[in-house]
Amino acid sequence: MNRIIKRTGVSLLILSLFVLLQGIPVFTLAAAVDDLKTFIHETQTVRANFSQTLFDKNARAIQQSSGTLEFERPDKFRWIYQTPYEQSIIGDGKQVWFYDHDLNQVTIRQFNIAIGSSPAALLAGSTAIEDNFELTNLGLQDEIKWMEAIPRNKDSAFEFIQLGFSLTGNLQFMALRDNFGQTTYLTFSELTKNPSLSDGFFKFVPPEGADVISE
């Protein structure tokens, strides 16, 4: 964990980080927002692996996990945690299923309530991202171009989402700070643009005997 961008005037949810990078001038490289827009415009589907670290408000790592993700624009995604506990989060644009494998419990939420101004909405939503987020270029650090997305909805569970792109425009990092002061840092690997995904891939059928809770 060696990089994070600090938002101007603010000390640094899902999704505190690692080492704070102080004093990044916005004018250094004004391209990360364009990278995000290009990424959204050119990719209808995505598949990737991820590793994730959760930091508390004192910047102590309190949980590490990893898994896979797929999404199809607009508003369909599968976020599967494989370690340390199995959990599946699947959205089809209408509903989101949260399945805890160990507890054999499924929680169902309405899509617009569960997703709103979340990372899934930022990456898998429609092209009108600026309707939901205020986008800002943060600059270049260690050959990574950073940008920040601040939810326009003040009731969002996230204070901000930051994305890091390579010099060639590939998405590599995501950082999220929630309203409890916890920060989630994700690293993406083996990201594939526009893979073929089967019909029904983003539907979820609760396993037999599962405890199902609708919210």
Place of tokens 């101007």: 8
Question: 27 pLDDT exceeds 60?
Answer: no
How many C-beta atoms lie closer than 10 Å to residue 190's C-beta? 9
Mean pLDDT in residue range 4-17: 31
Residue with more model confidence, 176 or 28: 176
Q: Round the average pLDDT of the chain to a whole number and report it.
A: 80
Q: What confidence score (pLDDT) does residue 58 get?
A: 93
Residue 123 exposure: Cα atoms within 13 Å on the Cβ side: 25
CB 7 within 8 A of CB 160: yes
Query: Under the phi-then-psi rule, with left for phi > 0, alpha for psi from -120 to 50, and beta for the rest, what region is 90?
Result: beta
Place of tokens 């002061």: 181
pLDDT of the residue at 118: 56
pLDDT bin (cut points 50, 70, 90) of residue 19 is very low
Q: Kindly tell me if the per-residue pLDDT of 5 is higher than 50.
A: no
- Among residues 122, 144, 142, 120, the alpha carbon closest in space to that of 132 is found at 122
Q: Name residue 87's amino acid.
A: Q
How much of the chain, in percent, has pLDDT values that exceed 90? Answer: 47
pTM of the complete model: 0.77
**pLDDT one-digit tens code per residue, 67-123:** 999 989 888 889 999 999 999 999 888 888 999 999 999 999 887 766 654 566 667
Q: Between the ranges 1-10, 75-84, 127-136, 151-160, where is the mean pLDDT highest? A: 75-84
Higher local confidence (pLDDT), 9 or 60: 60
Instruction: Determine which of 22-31, 52-61, 121-130, 203-212 has the lowest per-residue pLDDT on average.
Output: 22-31
Please calculate the CA angle 117-123-127 and round it to the nearest 5 degrees.
90
Identify the residue with better confidence: 17 or 100: 100
The 8-class DSSP code of residue 31 comes to: -
Is the pLDDT assigned to residue 38 strictly greater than 60?
A: yes
Q: How far apart are CA 15 and CA 53, in angstroms?
A: 8
User: Nearest-CA neighbor of 161 among 136, 188, 144, 197?
Assistant: 136
* pLDDT above 90 for 151: no
